[in-house]
Amino acid sequence: MDLFKRLEGFKMDVLKEVGNIGAGNAATALSQLLDKPIDMAVPKVQILPFEQIADKVGGPEQIVLAIFFRVEGEAPGNLFFVLTPEAGKGLLHRMAGIEASDEEFFTEMEQSALAEIGNILAGSYLSSLADFTGLSMSPTVPGLSMDMAGAILNYGLLQFGQMGDDALLIDTTFLEGNEEVEGQFFLIPDPESFDKIFKSLGVPLQDD
Amino acid sequence: MIEEQNVVKVGMADLNVVKTSGIIRTTGLGSCVGLTLYDKNVQLAGMAHVMLPSSEIAREGQLNIAKYADTALPELLKRMTDMGAIRSRLVAKMAGGAQMFTFSSGGDHMRIGPRNVEACKLFLKEYNIPLLAEDTGANYGRTIEMNCITGMLSIRSVQMGKKEI
């Protein structure tokens, strides 16, 4: 069975809409948190070789701040909120009034605040998907890391590692005006989740 | 940065060999393990970017042997002996196998890094290849490169800077 051969254009559009709804809600939540308008780019749904996934955030060695959630429930997967360390400091400042220390790294207090921000966004992303699909989806406690993008994102690909060298990801960038800001959401559904998502949305599955 | 002369890159779930002059490198190892073999006499360095411990769980039609600890090592051995390495002279070094995120709960896949390290060690033992040095575990990503003239493995990480083993 080749999962990706069965994902023709129509199904990719369905997944794009899934990303649209989730990220739309997260963008609204972020707007409320920051009290300013936050827009988002139309989500991209792509099947990418493992090697190229870290390129979406500037290459495997690019230092990023990532908040990771394992999605549990009927359509499991991996969810990342990825931002630059500078954007992380900006978020802390505007949201929690925390003036980030000059240090290169985040203090425990800052990490905890960031994880909580991520939690709010991931919660709104997933709850809208759960409403839309009728499937239960809930995030685990967030994990936070500031490290090389390759090392972080590859962690989300392990489920795909069992069946190939590509993964499907739904990638949404937040915008302020026309500028990319704040971060990107990456949703990497487990291979098993696709059929459930399609079925829940009434998309006919192929027999073979 | 080391000069970009004759750098052979190893991607994720990939393996490669470099001979006589040059550097072999893989970037952004998280829970994956960078397993290297080296034969000083012929200045041959091999590297595999191992993603999962065992090919038994593989469901893909065509197996990517570089991806699994149990299949990557035999393939690396074969490639190196084909290029003139002698098995009894080979030594191993490895890095990676981190746990990028820690959770109080979570399934077995959450601790895939330590399992990758264990699996690599198991197969090195089986093939009787001594493990000279390792920089594994912890919770940070690593970029590694091996110099095929010296056999030194240099490791860069965001948190710990640079070191050589």
pLDDT of residue A120: 86
Give the pLDDT score at A1.
Answer: 45
Q: How far is CA A186 from CA A119, B42, B45, in A?
A: 14, 45, 36
- Could you list the active site residues of B? 32
- Contact (CB<8Å) B12/A163: no
pLDDT by residue (tens digit) across A66-85?
Answer: 999 888 899 888 888 888 88
> Residue B4 has what pLDDT?
53
Query: What pLDDT score does B1 carry?
Result: 47
Structural domains of chain A in order of their starting residue, each with its CATH number: 3-200 (3.40.1550.10)
pLDDT value at A36 more than 50: yes
Find which of A45-54, A160-169, B90-99 is predicted with most confidence, using mean pLDDT: B90-99
Look at the alpha carbons of B129, B134, B137, B139 in this order and tell me if their dihedral is positive or negative: negative
Residue of A nearest to B13 (CA): A165
Helices (H), chain A: 9-34, 50-53, 85-96, 108-133, 149-154, 158-161, 193-200
pLDDT score at B132? 95
Which amino acid, A188?
I
A192 touches chain B (CB under 8 A): no
φ/ψ of residue A18, rounded to 5 = -60, -45
Q: What is the pLDDT of residue A57?
A: 83
pLDDT of residue B60: 60
Mean pLDDT of the A21-38 span: 84
Q: Pick A155's closest partner by Cβ from B61, B100, B140.
A: B100
Q: What local confidence, expressed as pLDDT, does residue B117 receive?
A: 95
Contact indicator for A69, A142 with CB cutoff of 8 Å: yes
Question: Measured between alpha carbons, how far is B142 from A83 in angstroms, rounded to an integer?
Answer: 20
SS3 B18: strand
Name the nearest CA neighbour of B134 among B35, B20, B15: B35
Using CB atoms and an 8 Å cut-off, which of residues 119-158 of chain B contact chain A?
A: 139-143, 157-158
- Which one of B27, B60, B142 has the shortest CB-CB distance to A163? B60
Eight-state DSSP code of residue A12 = H
Q: Give me the pLDDT at residue A208, please.
A: 43
pLDDT digits (tens), chain B, 165 positions: 445 568 899 988 899 999 888 899 999 999 999 999 999 999 999 999 999 888 887 666 677 888 899 999 999 999 999 999 999 999 999 999 998 887 655 555 568 899 999 999 999 999 999 999 999 998 899 999 999 999 999 999 988 889 999
Name the average pLDDT for chain A. 82
Q: Tell me how far the alpha carbon of residue A205 is from its chain's centroid.
A: 26
Contact at CB, B28 and A161, closer than 8 angstroms = no
**Tokens standing for residue A30:** 């972020």
Task: Say if CB A69 and CB B164 are below 8 A apart.
Answer: no
pLDDT of residue B23: 93
Instruction: Decide if pLDDT at A180 tops 70.
Output: no
pLDDT mean over A141-148: 89
Going from the C-alpha of B45 to that of each of A90, A130, B23, B90, B125, the distances in angstroms are: 44, 50, 8, 9, 19
Window 29-48 of B: residues touching A by CB (8 A cutoff) are 29-32
B115 at interface of A, judged by CB pairs closer than 8 A: no
What burial class does residue A122 get, using C-beta atoms within 10 Å of its C-beta: 0-12 exposed, 13-18 middle, 19+ buried?
Answer: buried
Nearest-by-Cβ selection for B28 from A70, A149, A163: A149
For A68, the closest chain B residue by CA position comes to B101
| Mean predicted confidence (pLDDT) in A19-42 | 83
pLDDT tens sequence across A116-130: 888 888 888 888 888
Average pLDDT over residues A7-25: 82
Q: Give the pairing type, strands B7-9 and B23-29.
A: parallel
Q: Which residues of B touch A63 (CB under 8 A)?
A: 158
Whole-number percent of chain A with pLDDT over 70: 90
What is the mean pLDDT of the segment spanning A11-21?
83
CB atoms within 10 A of CB A11: 19
Q: Is the pLDDT of residue A159 over 50?
A: yes
B28·A61 Cβ contact <8 A? yes
| pLDDT above 90 for A25 | no
Q: Which of A62-66, A173-177, B100-104 has the highest average model confidence (pLDDT)?
A: A62-66
Nearest CA to A167 out of A178, A177, A159 is that of A159
Domains present along chain B, CATH in parentheses? 7-155 (3.30.1330.200)
CA distances from B113 to B98, B102, B109, B137 (A): 5, 11, 9, 7
Q: For residue B158, give the nearest of A140, A148, A155 by CB distance.
A: A148
The C-alpha of A36 sits at a distance from chain B's nearest C-alpha, in angstroms, of: 31
CB pairs under 8 A between A and B: 101
